[in-house]
Amino acid sequence: MIPPTQGLWAIVLLVLTLGAAAVFGYRVLGLYRLLRLGRDEARIDHPWRRLRDELVVYLGQRKLIKRPYYIRGVGHALIFWGFLVITYGSADLFLRGIVGWQMPLTETVAYAWILDVFAVAVLAAVVIAWMRRAFVRPPRMHIVTEGYVILTLIGFLMLTLLTFEAAWFASAERDSLLNLGGDLFRTKTPAEMLASLVPPGAERTLFVGAWWAHVGTILAFAVYLPRTKHLHIVTTLFNVGFRKQTPRGALDLIDDIENKETFGAANIRDFSWKQLLDGYTCTECGRCSDNCPALATGKTLDPQKIVLDIRDQLLREGPKLLGDAKAETTAPAHWVETKPDELWACTTCAACVEACPVTIEHIDKIVDMRRSLTLMEGAAPPEAQRAMTNIERAGNPWGEPRETRGDWAQGLEIPTFAEKPDAEYLYFVGCAASYDRRNQRVARALAAILKSAGVSFAILGAAETCNGDPARRMGNEYLFQLQAQQNIETLNAAAVKKVITSCPHCFNTIANEYPQLGGNYEVVHALPLVKKLLDEKKITMTDGAAAEIVAYHDPCYLGRHNGIYDAPRDVLDAVPGVTRAEIAPHNRERGFCCGAGGGRMWMEEKMGQRVNHRRVDQLLATKSGATKVASGCPYCLIMLEEGVGAKGVQESIKPVDVLELVAARLETN
């Protein structure tokens, strides 16, 4: 295919291309300089995982194609893959047009085929996307003119591409193309089919006109792109590449906290460059908001708004800050306008993080802003402050006496580590199972299971103290570190190697966060451990109890934060007489929070419906006939107990922990 750029026209194209490249480069550089206003953060660990993510998440579009977005996801993937193929073709067009070089394999029937198929597919996807915006208007999607402009540009690109291809086919022989792939591409390509529509004699004019229109549109696109959310085509590449490779459940450590002067994020400069890049990358698709339990129940929190507020603030204030390093900065918009209510409504359930197709990290920003409120201003809600004071003084957020922490185990012959220093496992009981009478039953159930399986374990008793999860998630990094250091000291002094928890929050914190402070243990949540014990036939359960249907509720800190979806289900399935029900579609990675995470357990919930009540609504809506709802988390248990009570269904559906179901059927010798 000979480009219409003989002689002077090649220079015209060169000048246009350089011009567009200069504008594109200038604008991107501007964005990059704004990004550098953010604080430093190293994101180059685990290079192989980053490469894998680029392949799977960026190229493979893995996070787009998932429940409940399969069709939309595939639509986007088609546009994206088409875009890649067409970009390859565009590179070919420009190289040939300017210097006469060609990209490999472009002179083949196979390439013409692939290019054309994608052009048609992209065109179709663009039309659907356009119509969806215009007529369906998904509620959480940010619909702006920009979106239409971009879709129209892409559509126009495809039309011009197909047109000049058709014009070329009308005047040339396909035999001039290398027939790579043989019979596979025997039939006519879409453009080839259109060739018959080209009026005889107009082939050349049409080819030249459509070619220049196509090339011109590409250049216009390049100039326009950095000003739009469609820059995500580029930024996603980086956002995925620089995503957090530490466990999702681990919040970042504030290192050397005693010698720092400011903590958390109170203005644009306090966010890291990666957090600001998240803003550039947001496509305003609204999936995070779609899945947010706080927003769903009428709170002011909207995870997409948090990300966009930070971006808008950066674009608004950034240029001034670049000019004057000492310029005053203001708090992000959602602080000032709606006050911190938004921030305190977050349960850190990670539904947003899970849903985001471009790996934006919402929780970290929210916690960073909470850190500023709590640590700098002492402005946490009063109930949160009370919980923190209780952790500080009594080692548990409820303010129960430190001295009675181990009392639940009285009379059960459960040794403390002091009494049994050679125990294989430490059972880290956690505050809820130590003090809440409902959850004490779960602790006793686990103890019975471990004994029955012959597992060697001990507890810390009164020497255990809150792991620090609520404090950290309320933004009190300092208190978290004090708690963590205290536990690490205790565990190390007892030479603990392996830790069992029955609480996913204890599990997450000890497994994923204690290593930040030098506490490295082999940590296992009770349910995967019980699954292992079942597989090894160390536990046997008796049949005989009445058959029952049990719905499984995914705790966020088991599921989304730590990927433990199957072990609890396997254990449930192994319980004689139990038929498992799912709370579909809000199950597994789409599980709906109980409302207690992120320190919310100890805060008032006055806005909208209570999250746990919505969860019970979802449970009842499945009409599964379940008479029990099982989870593997003490917070969930407390919230579900409250929820079924509030809904008046406590007689017909009882919240339990999976461990209790197992313990009730243990074969006793």
What's the burial of 70, exposed, middle or buried (CB within 10 Å: 0-12/13-18/19+)? exposed
**Structural tokens at position 245:** 């490779």
Site string for other proteins, 462-481 (x = CB under 8 A): ----------------x---
Distances (CA, A) of 434 to 40, 404, 468, 501, 664: 41, 8, 15, 12, 20
> What minimum distance in Å lies between the beta carbon of 438 and other proteins?
6
Strands 548-552 and 628-631 turn out to be parallel
Sheet order of strands, 457-458 included: 457-458, 425-428, 498-501, 522-525
Which residue in 164, 185, 221, 263 binds other proteins (CB under 8 A)?
263
Which residue in 24, 111, 602, 635 binds other proteins (CB under 8 A)?
602
Residue 631 φ then ψ, to 5°: -140, -175
The answer to whether 209 contacts other proteins (rule: CB under 8 A) is no
Q: Which of 367, 394, 391, 421 minimizes the C-alpha distance to 597?
A: 367
Q: Which residue, 33 or 393, has its beta carbon nearer to other proteins?
A: 393
Which residues have C-beta within 8 Å of that of residue 199, sequence separation ≥ 6?
A: none
The answer to whether 489 contacts other proteins (rule: CB under 8 A) is no
The answer to whether 68 contacts other proteins (rule: CB under 8 A) is no
Identity at 475, one-letter amino acid code: G
Q: Distance between CA atoms of 623 and 504, rounded to whole angstroms?
A: 28
The answer to whether 398 contacts other proteins (rule: CB under 8 A) is yes
Identity at 400, one-letter amino acid code: E
Site string for other proteins, 223-262 (x = CB under 8 A): ----------------------------------xx--x-
Hey, is 427 helix, strand or coil? strand
Which residue in 309, 605, 657, 660 binds other proteins (CB under 8 A)?
605
CB count within 10 Å of CB 259 equals 6
Contact (Cβ atoms closer than 8 angstroms) between residue 449 and residue 666: yes
Q: Which residue, 276 or 432, has its beta carbon nearer to other proteins?
A: 432
Q: Which residue, 236 or 439, has its beta carbon nearer to other proteins?
A: 439
Q: Which residue, 384 or 659, has its beta carbon nearer to other proteins?
A: 384
Q: Which residue, 82 or 397, has its beta carbon nearer to other proteins?
A: 397
Which residues have C-beta within 8 Å of that of residue 347, sequence separation ≥ 6?
A: 293, 294, 556, 593, 595, 596, 597, 598, 600, 611
The answer to whether 386 contacts other proteins (rule: CB under 8 A) is yes
The answer to whether 419 contacts other proteins (rule: CB under 8 A) is no
Site string for other proteins, 421-440 (x = CB under 8 A): -----------x--xxxxx-
> What minimum distance in Å lies between the beta carbon of 387 and other proteins?
8
Distances (CA, A) of 488 to 157, 250, 503: 60, 17, 18
Which residue in 45, 419, 489, 604 binds other proteins (CB under 8 A)?
604
The answer to whether 378 contacts other proteins (rule: CB under 8 A) is yes
Identity at 153, one-letter amino acid code: L
Q: Which residue, 195 or 661, has its beta carbon nearer to other proteins?
A: 661
**Structural tokens at position 342:** 């938004």
Q: Which residue, 348 or 390, has its beta carbon nearer to other proteins?
A: 390
* Region near other proteins per CB under 8 A, out of 74-82, 205-213, 274-282, 603-611: 603-611
| Largest CA-CA distance found in the chain, in angstroms, rounded | 99
Q: Which of 1, 220, 183, 173 minimizes the C-alpha distance to 103?
A: 1
Q: Which residue, 566 or 604, has its beta carbon nearer to other proteins?
A: 604
**Structural tokens at position 92:** 């070919």
Identity at 119, one-letter amino acid code: A
CB count within 10 Å of CB 504 equals 30
> What minimum distance in Å lies between the beta carbon of 354 and other proteins?
28
The neighbouring-strand residues paired with 525 are 501
> What minimum distance in Å lies between the beta carbon of 655 and other proteins?
12
**CB half-sphere exposure, 565, CA atoms < 13 A:** 11
DSSP string, 441-467: HHHHHHHHHHHHTT--EEB-GGG----
The residue whose two tokens read 């472009």 is 106
Q: Which residue, 179 or 404, has its beta carbon nearer to other proteins?
A: 404
Which residue in 210, 301, 321, 388 binds other proteins (CB under 8 A)?
388
> What minimum distance in Å lies between the beta carbon of 379 and other proteins?
9
Which residue in 376, 584, 607, 649 binds other proteins (CB under 8 A)?
376
> What minimum distance in Å lies between the beta carbon of 614 and other proteins?
14
Site string for other proteins, 625-654 (x = CB under 8 A): -------------x--xx--xx--------
Q: Which of 602, 597, 608, 596 minimizes the C-alpha distance to 639?
A: 596
> What minimum distance in Å lies between the beta carbon of 468 and other proteins?
15
**Structural tokens at position 358:** 């471009």
Q: Distance between CA atoms of 255 and 236, rounded to whole angstroms?
A: 29
Which residue in 383, 548, 573, 617 binds other proteins (CB under 8 A)?
383
Please tell me the count of residues contacting other proteins according to CB under 8 A: 45
The answer to whether 393 contacts other proteins (rule: CB under 8 A) is yes
**Structural tokens at position 290:** 């779609």
Q: Which residue, 359 or 390, has its beta carbon nearer to other proteins?
A: 390
Which residue in 171, 338, 385, 490 binds other proteins (CB under 8 A)?
385
Q: Which residue, 520 or 650, has its beta carbon nearer to other proteins?
A: 650
Q: Distance between CA atoms of 58 and 52, rounded to whole angstroms?
A: 9
Residues 82-101 that bind other proteins (CB under 8 A): none
Residues 524-563 that bind other proteins (CB under 8 A): none
The answer to whether 198 contacts other proteins (rule: CB under 8 A) is no
The answer to whether 380 contacts other proteins (rule: CB under 8 A) is yes
Contact (Cβ atoms closer than 8 angstroms) between residue 276 and residue 317: no
The answer to whether 382 contacts other proteins (rule: CB under 8 A) is yes
Hey, is 261 helix, strand or coil? coil
* Region near other proteins per CB under 8 A, out of 79-87, 511-519, 520-528, 598-606: 598-606
CB count within 10 Å of CB 278 equals 27
> What minimum distance in Å lies between the beta carbon of 660 and other proteins?
14
Q: Which residue, 326 or 606, has its beta carbon nearer to other proteins?
A: 606
Q: Which residue, 396 or 562, has its beta carbon nearer to other proteins?
A: 396
Which residue in 402, 420, 498, 588 binds other proteins (CB under 8 A)?
402
The answer to whether 483 contacts other proteins (rule: CB under 8 A) is no
Which residue in 41, 45, 337, 403 binds other proteins (CB under 8 A)?
403
Q: Distance between CA atoms of 57 and 79, rounded to whole angstroms?
A: 15
Residues 138-177 that bind other proteins (CB under 8 A): none
Q: Which residue, 258 or 543, has its beta carbon nearer to other proteins?
A: 258
Torsional sign, CA 245, 247, 252, 258: negative
**Structural tokens at position 163:** 């047109």
Contact (Cβ atoms closer than 8 angstroms) between residue 321 and residue 329: yes
The answer to whether 265 contacts other proteins (rule: CB under 8 A) is no
List residues binding other proteins (CB under 8 A). Answer: 257-258, 261, 263, 374-378, 380, 382-383, 385-390, 393-394, 398-404, 432, 435-439, 478, 602-606, 610, 638, 641-642, 645-646
